[in-house]
Copies of this chain bind each other. A is one copy, B any other.
Amino acid sequence: MHTHTAPVRRTQVERCCWPSSLRLLTVCALIAGCSAADTDITLDAKATLNHRIQSLDLLVFVFLLALTVLTIWLFKHHRVSWLHETGLAVIYGLIVGAIIRYAGTNTTLVHMQVEPQGIPTYNAKLPPDTLWFKYPVNQTNATKLPEGVKTYAYVFRGQVYDIEENEIDLKATFDPEVFFNIILPPIIFYAGYSLKKKYFFRNLGAILTFAIVGTTLSAFLIGGVMYGCVKLMPNYLSSSFTFLDTLYFGALISPTDPLTILAIFHDLHVDVNLYALVFGESVLNDAVAIVLSGAIQNYGEHYSNTGEFETTAFLRSLSDFFCIFFLSLLIGAVMGCFTALLTKFTRVRDFPLLESALFVLMSYSTFLLAEATELTGVVAVLFCGICQAHYTYNNLSEDSRQRTKQIFELLNFLAENFIFSYIGVSMFTFPKHHFDAGFIITAFICAALGRAVNVYPLSWLLNIKRKPKISSNFQHMLFFAGLRGAMSFALAIRNTVSDARQTMLTATSLIVIFTVIIQGGAANFFLNWLKIPVGVDDETEQLNNYQVHSSDGYLQDVEGGGGGRGKTRLSSGADSNLDTPLDGNAATATIAAGGRRRNSHEKAILARIWGNFDTKYMKPLLTHSRPTLLETLPVCCNPIARLLTTTQQLTQDGSEFRRVDSDSDICIDNDTGNGLSQDGLGVGRRNSINRVSIRYMGDTQNLLASYRNLE
């Protein structure tokens, strides 16, 4: 066993080396240092060098981002519309990646084959966490081991797969888990936090159908078709792919990316319903895809022994999928509501810095909590973001509202541009790419196919019951808006141990790059070609909607709310929605509209039930909105309701301003046709009035006094 010698082997690794003099200088310094000093100093110098190279790696990306920012400005300044920021980031990334690849020098990484000291007793199932390795530090007398020996610790890294290829991870690449723990969370949180709730809820049925049913359908279709195609290929790939591999590919290539297309839509003020459909779907299908791919991974690793289809294993994976999705959703929602309670029942809003810090900490802890309980942090922060926007935002001080919005906007911007730069750079620097033309072409076709299956049949199904039908132009645009992005890439790069996975990574990277640059660039053209209305103002859209639904308006509302009192309650409750982010006066209309469209289709009823529950119990509990729980809960619960109602909530009604609000609401309810413009005005006015009244109510002493008067 100990017969063959294994001297120190040197692996040539192509390193990310910018041809900068800095680097050479250090190496020189290192070598110069070596001759005079002992191992400790050399080790120290090496650690310093490593730190400097890491800094340089990061610096390259920061520089890339700064360059992207400046170029975006230039493009925006000159109104260039055929290339967008994410596309730009990818292109710059590709250029810099190519430079690093071909202009870089090679660094030698040294590795050594070792074996246990003495007679090995492998009494554990797992390899040890650390190895302790004795190494003679004094070169001059290498034969005398015991004298100059130091013990070094080596930490477990992972399995070595390609012993022959001698490839080792490059430094210009990051641990893929960085994406899931640092880059994606702010992007996803911001997506939730900035969701335009009015149109989101109005299109909830379609969005959920597209996101959950569509993504799953697309994943299985792509998985199946790819499996068939791969098996038909003559090369060695066909043996390395299992059905689970292609299914995993289907799951990771199905989610669409919200960033690029929405930036375009936003700039052009595209039709709000289309916007809501694309945004809502792409945000939710990211969440679906990450859980789905996790379930597929689990199926392969834990439940299935043969790699073929097994019913019990499938069912267990299915239950995993739903459990993880809904538990993550629950954690996110609970943490969001908990933050709302904290901000409602403390007066931490008096100190906006503390309030913002609390908000950020609670949102981040949602992610950590989900990860610590083996759920999906990304899904949790998405729903946390939605809850924060829906409830907590209303309790925040004006300063914190602005600050949190701005901070997450900036974080989102930096994170998304970073990930697209990285996709570009890693095309050249990541060592585990595996190009296979056949697979790539098939992948492109399947990706388009999957998107088509997602959009067209489901739109047809939805259109059966849906009142404002999804027109065929919208369907084409939905199909076309299926860019792939950050989530696909992050899922693909997460696992690159086998040839199959490496081939998938390459195909995914290329699909992302192609769709972001070409589809993203052509989006403008397509919008024109498909005659999608652009330059649509939210307000006009809102008015149109009222007119569309005025036919089944007032009477049903009265029925639903239970007479006159119910009506008033509903309308004054809707008031609380005033200050939702980005689209303050939107939610009011949602609920009102939701009440009017009772019979239009099934989903609307679901949305309305939720809206009612939200207005009656959730908002009164979590925010300072009216009606209070004192009004909505049964009389027997009054003591609890009193506890959960703040003085601010109670005294809001006492002010003159609120009566004006309620009046204008009732007025609209009575006369839907005429009240439209009045509502448009009224909301705006109420919005500012509301703020005044909150400020007016700021004095705790006054509040308490009026509270007692009310009692």
Contact = CB atoms under 8 A, between A and B. Distances in A.
Interface of A: 1-8, 22, 26, 33-34, 37, 39-44, 46, 48, 51-52, 55-56, 58-59, 62-63, 65-66, 69-70, 72-74, 76-77, 109-119, 121-136, 139, 142, 145, 150-160, 163, 168, 177, 301-302, 342, 346-348, 350-351, 353-354, 356-358, 360-362, 364-365, 368-369, 371-374, 377, 402-403, 406-407, 409-410, 413-414
B156 A125 contact: no
A132 B114 contact: yes
A131 B160 contact: no
Contact of A110 (B39, B126, B373): B126
Contacts of A142: 122
Given A62-B361, A130-B154, A406-B406, A55 B372 contact: yes
Contact of A43 (B42, B63, B74, B126): B126
Given A73-B350, A113-B134, 11 more contacts: A4-B117, A58-B368, A59-B365, A62-B364, A66-B365, A73-B347, A114-B115, A115-B115, A356-B410, A402-B406, A406-B406
Nearest to A77: B347
Nearest to A63: B365
B371 A52 contact: yes
Contacts of A56: 368, 372
23 contacts: A1-B145, A7-B121, A8-B122, A8-B124, A8-B128, A37-B302, A40-B301, A42-B126, A58-B368, A62-B361, A62-B364, A76-B354, A113-B132, A113-B133, A114-B114, A114-B132, A127-B135, A130-B157, A131-B131, A153-B158, A153-B159, A154-B156, A155-B157
Given A41-B301, A59-B372, A369-B59, A160 B135 contact: no
Contacts of A70: 342, 346, 348, 358
Given A66-B365, A350-B77, A406 B403 contact: yes
Contacts of A342: 70
A116 B113 contact: yes
Contacts of A409: 353
A6 B115 CA distance: 11
A19 to B, nearest CB: 14
B113 A360 contact: no
Nearest to A59: B368
Contacts of A112: 116, 128, 130-132
A406 B301 CA distance: 47
A2 B157 contact: no
Task: Among A76, A110, A177, find the residue whose CB has the most chain B CB atoms closer than 10 A.
Answer: A110
A121 B159 contact: no
B52 A118 contact: no
A114 B139 contact: no
Contacts of A58: 368
Contact of A121 (B8, B122, B145, B157): B8
Contacts of A406: 356, 402-403, 406-407
B2 A118 contact: yes
Identify the 7 closest CB pairs spanning chains A and B, nearest first. Answer: A154-B154, A5-B118, A55-B371, A55-B372, A59-B368, A112-B128, A111-B130
Nearest to A156: B154
A360 B414 contact: yes
A414 B358 contact: no
A365 B356 CA distance: 26
Contacts of A69: 348, 354, 357-358, 361
B39 A125 contact: yes
Contacts of A139: 122, 125
B160 A132 contact: yes
Task: Among A62, A139, A342, A358, find the residue whose CB has the most chain B CB atoms closer than 10 A.
Answer: A62
A112 to B, nearest CB: 4
Contacts of A135: 122, 127
A6 B76 contact: no
A119 B115 CA distance: 11
A117 B114 contact: yes
B410 A360 contact: yes
Contacts of A109: 129-130
Contacts of A125: 34, 39, 42, 139
A118 B3 contact: yes
Contacts of A163: 132, 151
A261 to B, nearest CB: 18
A150 B154 contact: no
A328 to B, nearest CB: 14
Contacts of A73: 346-348, 350-351, 354
A39 B413 contact: no
A374 B52 contact: yes
Contacts of A55: 368-369, 371-372, 377
